[in-house]
Structure 1
Amino acid sequence: MFQNIWQGRLDGEELLFHRLFQRVKEEQNYDNISTNDFALHGFAVDEGVRRNRGRQGAKDAPDVIRKNMSNFPVILPNFSMLDFGNITCEDGNLENAQNNLAKNVSKVLLKGGKSLVLGGGHEVTYAHYLGIKTAYPEQKIGIINIDAHFDNRQPEKGVGPSSGTGFWQIAQEGPINSLHIGIQRNSNTLKLFDTAHQYGMKYVLSDELFFENLPSVYQRIDDLLENVDFAYLTICMDVFNASIAPGVSASAYNGIFADATFMHFYRHILKNKKLVALDVAEVNPPFDIQDRTARLAACLVNEWLMI
């Protein structure tokens, strides 16, 4: 199924030569997951983006990101990743697609695996969270959202949940433990800031992401993670500047960069042992240039695979 996607430079079959494409296994049986295996799903869905009036095309992203991951070198000798294919939404039934992903994610976590999801629109957030909550119903789950947007708007009547409603939906199910990093003042109305305050959603503005302020950013990350049982990291690629991430559903001319400051706090999150799930969202191949956005998403995912 993925033979034409997981391809790369073959330098040799010895472990020291291995690249990702040599270690990824196509899988359908969740019983074959071992502890600490990475279990990959593609969420080839952008129905939520359509409902949110964004630029469609993110449903094409999972396979493009896979291709850009394929050639990365394998760093850890015991690295293992199982690819369970793509979840689609051909009939416009977003809720069904979200439930399908949630069901599969819960199977991964109950087997001791690590859940990795390639979106798709940011409607993946609610689905991924639902899967974690299904696996750990009594545990406190912390969510770190690296994003220009809160995605906490209330669903419109007659439209339903979208790529912009995930955190509002999560907050309806009980106390939410979330930290939103990279929030843009010019991308969120006062209502969205007010909703964040009402539900206790913590945030770090994009303007606060500079090197001298890293101790404060670290502290806010640690404050969240120290008080939860499991952690989930979601990255919306529209948080980045349009020059390095042109292929997104809502581009940002003044977005952040994947510079030293970003990589410091990003790796700080990835090193936390409570992290069990990660996804990237809103890569939009039809609007990308030279696969810049897909390549950046692949690199961010690969950082987790090397820790």
Structure 2
Amino acid sequence: MSNIWQGRLDGEELLHHRIFQRVKEERNYDNIATDDFVLHGFAVDEGVRRNKGRQGAKDAPDVIRKNMSNFPVILPDFSMLDFGNITCDDGNLENTQNSLAKNVSKVLLKGGKSLVLGGGHEVTYAHYLGIKTAFPEQKIGIINLDAHFDNRQPEKGVGASSGTGFWQIAQEGPINSLHIGIQRNSNTLKLFDTAHQHGMKYILADELFFENLPSIYQRIDELLDTVDYAYLTICMDVFNASVAPGVSAAAYNGIFADHTFMHFYRHILKNKKLVAMDVAEVNPSFDIQDRTARLAACLVNEWLMI
């Protein structure tokens, strides 16, 4: 993996550092220190296959790493440990999700911040399960930036998929989630009804405009003020196809990473309860000039600068 973390070398002094100079490839979870960013790649798209989507997201983690490498280090004490990729070569998605969950739990119990690069959005259930394993008695809030609710009930004979994560989470108890960027033309009435039945809050993509920022802030805070820990998951198909063409389900009317988005996005990242984040559904097979991977890398980098 060492050949992935490469970039422009301006010098070895701290003021010159870029991310690739501060990443340490690691295998021992005992070496995690408080506030370290700890990275796992979820090189899996078995859930996308089961959900009848365009496969290829399993190849994304290393491409996103490559696009992260050259960003400058802003915080002097920045530290990132990279624990490599988790794969699903045998088609057993459930075991793979459990493997990631165990690793995430170890990260959080050591005081690290969990960062996962997907992979399909089946990463959501795995990442959440890891947080819940680490903090079983705590209230966990989830913010999902996505065009879809991903609350589909698993099909018999198919099992969990990239579209069932929030249904699975809701089966384990009350769910505390806010879904931002939901598209009316991407969710059936059944999926909206499921969201209402389980108390899944949401903000439609049509509501994401500058004049509505006070309301957006309020709804984010209403969730985060009532939980103990927060988890942010980003499905890249929430974005417009012109800036995120490399996804399983491209959206012609998706949102943009414009000033309005960056305002409420950074508002989420600044919350001290945020302990975990992932990006999902980058599909290099359909990407153009690494646009989607680059955008995903930029979104991750925003957290590294807070």
TM over 0.5: same fold?
A: yes
Cα drift, residue 203 of structure 1: 0.1
Q: Distance in 1 between matches of 2:197 and 2:25?
A: 44
- Superposition pairs of residues 262-277 of structure 1, within 5 angstroms: 262-277=261-276
Q: Deviations over 1:68-109 (max 9, x none)?
A: 000000000000000000000000000011000000000000
Partner of 1:9: 8
Q: CA deviation at 1:8?
A: 0.1
Residue aligned with 1:142, SS:
strand
CA offsets 1:156-203 (integer angstroms, 9 cap, x no match): 001000000000000000000000000000000000000000000000
1:62 has 2:61 as partner: yes
Matches of 2:3 and 2:294, distance apart in 1: 18
Task: Quote the Cα distance in structure 2 between the aligned partners of 1:126 and 1:177.
Answer: 14
**Deviation by residue 1:258-300 (Cα, 9 ceiling, x = unmatched):** 0000000000000000000000000000000000000000000
Give the 3-state SS of the residue equivalent to 2:38 in structure 1.
Answer: strand
Deviation, structure 1 residue 53? 0.1
Instruction: Return the alpha-carbon distance in structure 2 between the equivalents of residues 137 and 263 of structure 1.
Output: 32
Q: Distance in 1 between matches of 2:195 and 2:71?
A: 38
Partners in 1 of 2:231 and 2:2 — Cα distance? 30
Q: Could you tell me how far apart the structure 2 residues matched to 1:265 and 1:291 are?
A: 25
Paired with 1:280 and 1:142, the residues of 2 have a C-alpha distance of: 17
Looking at structure 1, the residues matched to 117 and 152 of structure 2 have their Cα atoms a distance apart, in angstroms, of: 23
Aligned counterparts of 2:179 and 2:224: Cα–Cα separation in 1:
13
User: 1-side partners of 2:95 and 2:19: how far apart?
Assistant: 31
Alpha-carbon distance between aligned partners in 2 of 1:44 and 1:238, rounded to the nearest angstrom: 18
Counterparts of residues 132-151 of structure 1 (less than 5 Å): 132-151=131-150
Deviation at 1:3, TM superposition (A): 1.3
Distance 1:249 1:98 in 2: 20
Partner of 2:86: 87
Q: Secondary structure at the match of 1:112?
A: coil
Supply the distance in 1 between the matched residues of 2:213 and 2:235 (Cα, whole angstroms): 21
Local SS of the residue matching 1:75: coil
SS in 2 for 1:97: helix
RMSD: 0.2
Structure 1 residue ranges, 4+ long, deviating more than 4 angstroms after superposition: none
Q: Would you say how many aligned residue pairs link Structure 1 and Structure 2?
A: 306
SS at 1:12 equivalent: coil
CA distance in 1, matches of 2:223, 2:2: 40
**What do the CA deviations read for 1:235-256 (whole angstroms, capped 9, x no partner)?**
0000000000000000000000
- Give the Cα–Cα distance (whole angstroms) in 1 for the partners of residues 121 and 29 of structure 2: 25
Matched residue SS, 2:233 = strand
Question: C-alpha deviations, 1:42-64, integer Å up to 9, x for none?
Answer: 00000000000000000000000
Instruction: Quote the sequence identity (%).
Output: 91
Unaligned 5+ residue runs, structure 2?
none
User: Helix, strand or coil for the counterpart of 2:154?
Assistant: coil
SS in 2 for 1:118: strand
**TM-score, reference length from structure 1:** 1.00
